[in-house]
Amino acid sequence: MDLDAAGGRRSGLECALRSAIRQGRLSAGTLLPSTRGLAKELGFSRGTVSAAYGQLVEEGYLTTRPGSGTTVAEAPQRPSAPARPAPTSPTIPRHDLRPGLPDVSAFPVRAWLASTRRVLTHARPEVFGAGDPQGRIELRSALADYLGRTRGVLTTPDRIVITSGYHQGLGLLSGVLTAGGISTAAVEDPGHNLLREVVRRAGLTTLALSVDAHGAHVDALTQGTGAVFLTPSHQYPTGVPLHPSRRQTLRAWARSTGGLIIEDDYDGEYRYDRQPVGALQGIAPDQVVYCGTASKTLGPALRLAWMVLPPHLVSPMVRAKREADLYTETLGQLVLADLIATHAYDRHTRAARLRYRRRRELLVNRAAAIPGLTAHGVPAGLHTLLTLPSDGPTEHQLLTRCAHHGVALRGLTELHHDPAHCPHGLLIGFAAPSEHAYPGALDALFTALASDGRGDAATGPSTAVGSTRSAGLTRK
């Protein structure tokens, strides 16, 4: 045996015997020397050898019987290890124009580091212990102030619950509503398909509310509908805000029926032609659950979101959060709270608003040069909906062409309740690429839209969008 006693004689003997048994050099049934004999041979004390044998007996490598000495135990039959698949990494598109994604290359690293240093410098020991299911009071207080002055939300810290992302908050809330006796919830059509699935998994039946140029048809809500999920500031995916008259209709419905409004403030911080429309929660704080997230302003990896709740829902939501994962990671909450309190969050959002406005204008201007391609929605958010001419290529054909050119985006049909009876369109996100990469991403997009369907562009990137004879979206 190769005995290394650098870490202690007993440990060295244990490791040497264990290795010899594992490698088969000491086969099952082999009789080992007596403790006295091995101790004399190695120059160890008998107690050291006895302790090493005893440890290996406890681990199952050796067996001992009075009068029979110590032998190597029968090795258990080990199942053959399944073949491991080759490690894979998420496929990153060459040109990422999917909707709803921010430019994470512009993450405010310096400001985040400065806030992190302040948090860790002044952190009390309990910060590193178990957290609060409702969320850190520092973040809830900072959000109450921030949401009040930027989104017109009426709240206090005790009405805010922090969740690990909007998706978790939506699932927890849907479960709370189901447990509270609500069976039917209305959702926008078209609307976020992920939202529909989360609501349905909680046991809620969904009622589709059609959407037009004034937002969702909230006049279709009935007495039997217990809740409605909306994106009133910038409807996903059409990009229209909910009309003021429909806001009033919605508030009247909630007050008369006791129905609950769940407001996803989707892209609420990003309005480019005027001040953002205030949150719906501000006109009906006791009937609205306001949902916000740092995913669109900072990055999805933070997994930080918040819900401003009517008083009667706070305790059930805190219980649901505790049962789900106890609490959201604490240090990130404290850093975000400091970022908001020092107004670094405001500065970052203002800078992003300027960048995204320029990007949207460039996208819309280039789309306007293609006959039949129509941009929808107000200047806001992180994406634009482009509907297609009825006599041109289909949505599926264009998505296939874009994929061939390395461009990732989404189609409109998958967001409808009934994809077979809806207009075709493309959702173009203009925020995810870096400033340097965005012009190239647009070139690739419009080259794909103007291609002949066989992977070759009919014209080059600089002329494809202006040519009325390109084979892509030209009316015949």
Is residue 278 in a domain? yes
Helix ranges, 258-343 (H): 311-325, 330-341
Looking up tokens 């809620």, which residue turns up?
Answer: 204
Domain final residue, candidates 342, 376, 411:
342
Is residue 117 in a domain? no
Is residue 96 in a domain? no
Domain final residue, candidates 342, 370, 403:
342
Mark whether 149 and 298 lie in a shared domain.
yes
Mark whether 375 and 444 lie in a shared domain.
yes
Amino acid at 43: G
Reading the block at residue 434, the tokens are 């870096």
pTM tops 0.95, yes or no: no
Look at residue 65 and give its three-state secondary structure: strand
Mark whether 141 and 277 lie in a shared domain.
yes
Cβ-contact 271, 245 below 8 angstroms? no
User: Quick one: residue 306, left, alpha or beta (phi over 0 = left, psi -120 to 50 = alpha)?
Assistant: beta
pLDDT in tens, the chain (476 residues): 778 877 788 999 999 999 998 888 999 989 999 999 999 999 899 999 999 999 999 999 999 888 778 999 987 665 566 666 666 656 778 999 999 999 999 999 999 999 999 999 999 999 999 999 999 999 999 999 999 999 999 999 999 999 999 999 999 999 999 999 999 999 999 999 888 999 999 999 999 999 999 999 999 999 899 999 999 999 999 999 999 999 999 999 999 999 999 999 988 889 999 888 899 999 999 999 999 999 999 999 999 999 999 999 999 999 999 999 999 999 999 999 999 999 999 999 999 999 999 999 999 999 999 888 999 999 999 999 999 988 889 999 999 999 999 999 999 999 998 887 788 899 999 999 999 999 999 999 999 998 765 544 444 333 333 333 333 343 33
User: Quick one: residue 178, left, alpha or beta (phi over 0 = left, psi -120 to 50 = alpha)?
Assistant: alpha
Mark whether 63 and 134 lie in a shared domain.
no
Mark whether 150 and 172 lie in a shared domain.
yes
pLDDT at 5: 78
Residue 280 has φ and ψ, to the nearest 5°, of: -60, -30
Domain final residue, candidates 41, 56, 72:
72
- How many C-beta atoms surround the C-beta of residue 22 within 10 A? 11
Mark whether 307 and 352 lie in a shared domain.
no
Mark whether 337 and 372 lie in a shared domain.
no
Mark whether 315 and 436 lie in a shared domain.
no
Number of domains comprising the chain: 3
Report the number of secondary-structure helices (H) and strands (E) in the chain: 14, 16
Could you give the CA distance from residue 356 to residue 103 in angstroms, rounded to a whole number? 9
Could you give the CA distance from residue 23 to residue 45 in angstroms, rounded to a whole number? 27
Could you give the CA distance from residue 174 to residue 160 in angstroms, rounded to a whole number? 17
Mark whether 370 and 322 lie in a shared domain.
no
Is residue 249 in a domain? yes
Is residue 108 in a domain? no
Reading the block at residue 207, the tokens are 């009622």
Look at residue 229 and give its three-state secondary structure: strand
Residue 421 contacts by C-beta under 8 Å, 6 or more apart in sequence?
none
Cβ-contact 165, 321 below 8 angstroms? no
Mark whether 55 and 136 lie in a shared domain.
no
Domain that holds residue 416: 347-464
CATH classification at residue 367? 3.90.1150.10
Residue 351 contacts by C-beta under 8 Å, 6 or more apart in sequence?
106
Looking up tokens 């490698």, which residue turns up?
Answer: 23
pLDDT at 361: 97
pLDDT at 457: 43
Strand partners, 271: 380
Is residue 2 in a domain? no
Look at residue 450 and give its three-state secondary structure: coil
Is residue 124 in a domain? no
Mark whether 275 and 333 lie in a shared domain.
yes
Could you give the CA distance from residue 242 to residue 4 in angstroms, rounded to a whole number? 76
pLDDT at 4: 80
Is residue 357 in a domain? yes
Burial class of residue 80, CB neighbours in 10 A (0-12, 13-18, 19+): exposed
Strand partners, 230: 263
Mark whether 361 and 310 lie in a shared domain.
no
